[in-house]
Structure 1
Amino acid sequence: MLDFIYNHSPIFFQNIMVSVKGKQFIKQRYTEHYYNELAELKKCSDKYKLQEERLNEFIIYIKENSEYYGKLLNDINKPISFQNLKLLPLLEKEMINKHLDTLVTTKENLIRGQTGGSTGVGMIYYTTPYDMSRKFAYLDYFKETHGVYKGMKRVSIGGKAIIPNMQKRKVFWRYNKPLNQMLFSAYHADGDNLKYYVKQLNKFQPETIDGFTTVIHRMAKYIIDNQIKLNFKPVAIFPTAEALTDEMKIDIEKAFNCPVRNQYASSEGAPFITENINGELEINPETGIFELNHIQGNIYELIVTGFYTTTTPLFRYKIGDSVELYEKLPTNYSQKDIKIKRIIGRNNDFLISNERGIVTNINLSTVIRDAGPSIKNSQFVQNKSDEVDIYLVIEKDINIEKLEKLLVSKLKIRFGETTKFKFKYVDSIAKTTGGKTRFTINNIV
């Protein structure tokens, strides 16, 4: 009923409804637990000691309050170290979907959440104001290190359907007054619509921008390509939910003339990986445990334990994401040994060459960059080990034969001679149900 009222209301009233929802979020997010967590994070002098304490508190809590873990961890009667974690059972998305009723630790004040299922498996989970407010405390703690504080004028780009299908006006945003937040729709930020987004940015003049990486990058490219002068300068920009390539970061920083700070977590509550003021990626041990399974080279699959998931516990959770390290880990590695070069994201966000092994989205983004501005958008999809489908959105009147010859020459450097490339020209790249645009999709892993 509320959706019907929202979709059939004028925009000014939709802004009021969004603001009412914003007040609800404030009540959920900024509890006493938020301020307690923020204070503890600021006074912490040994992150790894706090991590060890929180790990065992987490294990005791889920053992005593989750029916599922009460059985699995029944024999655990002594403190667990990081090195001993591998002896305990793993958790996968399918298991959460199947055992959710017995996994949860409480039936009170539940807030339902759902992942988009970009790997083919969506997931229902529950959180509470306790978990949510502590997670937001860490997010604000991270942003404060880069000069961004709660209450600053903010633009957020996400996958919520805030624009009714029947709307004719080119107004692709709504204003959440209590949070001083302009919400941009990720579903409409493409093509000719980008000029309306950039015009609104100049009008609103946000102090910070966060949200879907590809949309922020698309706006940045539009600003650069059309030589648009912005009349504001954000303190910092925080891309989320999608992998950030070096080329994307360069473009965004050039367009907005401010630092871009990468971060990794997940809607269901994975611990944080964030970028520090020196541009280095760091695990945040205060928020959870990171176990790494070797895939190939310096690329590792993440298994995470999230301390902000006491409601639907993520304990040794195979989240389906991967990272690239600077160096291969020793056999008995510690949390301090984890030095992250880049966040790859989904485990199928890279392709595979029979000759050269893993080809990351970073390698592929440089191919697109070298082709110049004639390519407006692109996507690489691998359904066979020796074949890659390449979807391209290109400028009109481009010499396709010349473009393909250039791309193939660059791709052969990365894949070798035995991989075939099929080019498919489209008007737009398909988005996921959550409004994201995936750059690489590997359907053979």
Structure 2
Amino acid sequence: MGIKEQVYLYSPVFMQNLLTTLYGYRLQRERYGPAYQTRFQELADKLEKPIDVERDQLARLNTFLLFCRQHSPYYHTLFKDLNLQLPFRALTELLQIPSLEKEMLRQQIESIRTDLPAPILGKTGGTTGKSIQVRYTKEDMQVRMAHLDFFKATHGVKKGMRRISFTAQALVSERQQKPVYWRMNHALNQLLFTVKKLSAETMTAYLQAIDRFDPESIDGLPSAMIELAYHAKRIGMELQCRPRAIFPTAEMMTATERKLIEDVFHAPVFDQYASSEGAPIVSECRFGNKHLHYEMGIIEIEPDGQILVTSFDTHGTPLVRYRVGDRMTSSGKTCSCGHPGPVIDSIDGRGRGYIVKQNGQKVFEGQLSSLVKVLPNSVERVQYIQNSERDITFLYIPDRTRFLSEHEEQLYRFLKTLLGSEMNVSLRAVDNIPREVSGKTLLVKQLM
């Protein structure tokens, strides 16, 4: 723990609110400068206008690749070795560049980084458990914020409106006795709730604080929203707040969980996708379709669903055909909402979000989460733990008012059908499923 974190956690609550607000002013200076204003206005000016997406992307791609060649030692050498002829005349020429794997990014990150000042860090965990830290310029971050804010604005939520955010940050000291598990960021009119203090004993206080604040939007980790929604249902608590929209991030939700959030918090959910490394944003429109923000980059979807991202707004650590570790599907359909970006049918979760069967077949989260179709109302939360290539532990939190003894047999039959008779599956009813160090609750946990 750094000195700043120690000072914060040893401060009284009123001082922590002040420090949170001061940090908010710093973020405001970073995120809302000229580049933000320019991109936000660009998006507003061309809303619902006919756009040649492929032509626009090609122009932005060539500008970005020329930048990479000039400012990144790695790409300068790579493009020279490939005898790459720029500018490209078609987007398909991007395939000449080999994919950038996570391990290569980790090993070559110093030579991939450019010579531009890029003070903003984006942190992500790699498959080996080592952290990858990419860098953004202030302009990169402002462009990303312009797209996020414009997405929210299309759903009636404007910058500065009262906002609640669920975060994995340690906002509250372990020594704190008062049930105040939230901190106020006055700079952004944002009440921050730490997910690390959620429990059966604290959730009523969380819900009461949400109602008092009366947010106009809610965002952050959906696992916290889901737990609070289940708790509100259990105790019969009816929230009075009426947010305009809810914007979950970072985690998957089932259709049942999404409806639960909407019912309890009285607001529609609009999904979004991004990544710490800087992948182009995908966001959901009013018709429920997910659109790629094509101005930010290109997403290639491989036959198995793995995606490669080329992100035009990564001028600190450029990403060209980077295998980010996520999976998507797309049918190439269009949408009548007016957004010209390609429609993404589904975002199927992280690359490690799967169980591996003995024959090497992977069962991904999209299939594993279909469990809710079996018992949608009597099980609150589940987790699959793969202990070895043959052994799976299945944790579930039963709804004590609905779960019947025969339901466990139904679960067992479903799991054997899904995973195969060769897998040994043990079921265990639990009162809670622990979060990871990051604060997230995993659907699939690999221990192999």
By the TM > 0.5 criterion, same fold?
Answer: yes
Cα contact 2:384–2:394 (8 A) shared by 1: yes
Q: Is it true that 1:86 corresponds to 2:90 in the alignment?
A: no
**In structure 2, C-alpha distance between the alignment counterparts of 1:323 and 1:433, rounded to whole Å:** 26
- 1:59 alignment partner, SS class: helix
Cα contact 2:66–2:86 (8 A) shared by 1: no
- 1:231 alignment partner, SS class: coil
The letter of the residue matching 2:94 is L
Alignment of 1:339-378 (within 5 A): 339-352=343-356, 359-368=363-372, 370-371=374-375, 375-378=379-382
**In structure 2, C-alpha distance between the alignment counterparts of 1:29 and 1:353, rounded to whole Å:** 45
Cα contact 1:246–1:362 (8 A) shared by 2: no
**In structure 1, C-alpha distance between the alignment counterparts of 2:300 and 2:130, rounded to whole Å:** 22
Q: State TM-score, norm by structure 1.
A: 0.89
- For residue 26 of structure 1, what is the aligned residue in structure 2? 28
Q: Is it true that 1:58 corresponds to 2:64 in the alignment?
A: yes
Cα contact 2:102–2:126 (8 A) shared by 1: no
Q: Is it true that 1:318 corresponds to 2:326 in the alignment?
A: no
1:437 to 420, 427, 441: 441
Give CA deviations for 1:215-237 in whole Å, capped at 9, x if unaligned: 11212222233332111111010
The letter of the residue matching 1:215 is A
Q: Is it true that 1:304 corresponds to 2:309 in the alignment?
A: yes
Give CA deviations for 1:110-148 in whole Å, capped at 9, x if unaligned: 122311447734211111211111100010111111111
**In structure 1, C-alpha distance between the alignment counterparts of 2:328 and 2:365, rounded to whole Å:** 12
Q: State TM-score, norm by structure 2.
A: 0.89
- 2:308 alignment partner, SS class: strand
- For residue 259 of structure 1, what is the aligned residue in structure 2? 268
The letter of the residue matching 1:304 is V
Evaluate the alpha carbon distance shift between residue 397 and residue 231 of structure 1 in structure 2; reply closer, same or farther with a 3 A threshold.
closer
Greater mean alpha carbon deviation, residues 367-376 or residues 224-233: 367-376
Evaluate the alpha carbon distance shift between residue 434 and residue 118 of structure 1 in structure 2; reply closer, same or farther with a 3 A threshold.
farther
CA apart distance, 1:395? 5.9
- 1:178 alignment partner, SS class: coil
The letter of the residue matching 2:57 is Q
Alignment of 1:330-345 (within 5 A): 339-345=343-349
Greater mean alpha carbon deviation, residues 416-425 or residues 274-283: 416-425
CA apart distance, 1:365? 3.2
1:49 to 35, 48, 55: 55
Alignment of 1:259-278 (within 5 A): 259-278=268-287
- 2:442 alignment partner, SS class: coil
Alignment of 1:131-280 (within 5 A): 131-280=140-289
CA apart distance, 1:405? 1.1
- For residue 39 of structure 1, what is the aligned residue in structure 2? 41
- For residue 96 of structure 1, what is the aligned residue in structure 2? 105
Mark the runs of 5 or more structure 2 residues left unpaired by the alignment: 334-339
- 1:37 alignment partner, SS class: helix
Give CA deviations for 1:247-295 in whole Å, capped at 9, x if unaligned: 2211111112221001111122111111111001222211110111122
**In structure 1, C-alpha distance between the alignment counterparts of 2:111 and 2:439, rounded to whole Å:** 31
Cα contact 1:173–1:185 (8 A) shared by 2: yes
CA apart distance, 1:241? 0.7
- 1:229 alignment partner, SS class: coil
Evaluate the alpha carbon distance shift between residue 432 and residue 48 of structure 1 in structure 2; reply closer, same or farther with a 3 A threshold.
farther
Q: Percent of counterpart pairs with the same letter?
A: 32
- For residue 123 of structure 2, what is the aligned residue in structure 1? 114
CA apart distance, 1:168? 2.2
The letter of the residue matching 1:14 is Q
Give CA deviations for 1:361-399 in whole Å, capped at 9, x if unaligned: 344334246446554432112344544221234467998
Q: Is it true that 1:76 corresponds to 2:90 in the alignment?
A: no
CA apart distance, 1:308? 1.7
Cα contact 1:261–1:275 (8 A) shared by 2: yes
- 2:433 alignment partner, SS class: coil
Cα contact 1:119–1:346 (8 A) shared by 2: no
Greater mean alpha carbon deviation, residues 45-54 or residues 60-69: 45-54
Evaluate the alpha carbon distance shift between residue 118 and residue 16 of structure 1 in structure 2; reply closer, same or farther with a 3 A threshold.
farther
Greater mean alpha carbon deviation, residues 55-64 or residues 336-345: 336-345
- 2:174 alignment partner, SS class: coil
Cα contact 1:348–1:443 (8 A) shared by 2: no
Cα contact 1:355–1:415 (8 A) shared by 2: no
Cα contact 1:247–1:366 (8 A) shared by 2: no
Evaluate the alpha carbon distance shift between residue 120 and residue 423 of structure 1 in structure 2; reply closer, same or farther with a 3 A threshold.
farther
- 1:187 alignment partner, SS class: helix
**In structure 2, C-alpha distance between the alignment counterparts of 1:404 and 1:325, rounded to whole Å:** 36
The letter of the residue matching 2:15 is F
The letter of the residue matching 2:386 is Q
- For residue 331 of structure 1, what is the aligned residue in structure 2? none
Evaluate the alpha carbon distance shift between residue 119 and residue 370 of structure 1 in structure 2; reply closer, same or farther with a 3 A threshold.
farther
The letter of the residue matching 1:6 is Y
- 2:287 alignment partner, SS class: coil
**In structure 2, C-alpha distance between the alignment counterparts of 1:137 and 1:187, rounded to whole Å:** 29
CA apart distance, 1:100? 2.2
- 1:390 alignment partner, SS class: strand
Evaluate the alpha carbon distance shift between residue 399 and residue 154 of structure 1 in structure 2; reply closer, same or farther with a 3 A threshold.
closer
CA apart distance, 1:97? 2.3
Greater mean alpha carbon deviation, residues 380-389 or residues 348-357: 348-357
Cα contact 1:281–1:341 (8 A) shared by 2: yes
Evaluate the alpha carbon distance shift between residue 57 and residue 101 of structure 1 in structure 2; reply closer, same or farther with a 3 A threshold.
same
- Count of matched residue pairs: 433
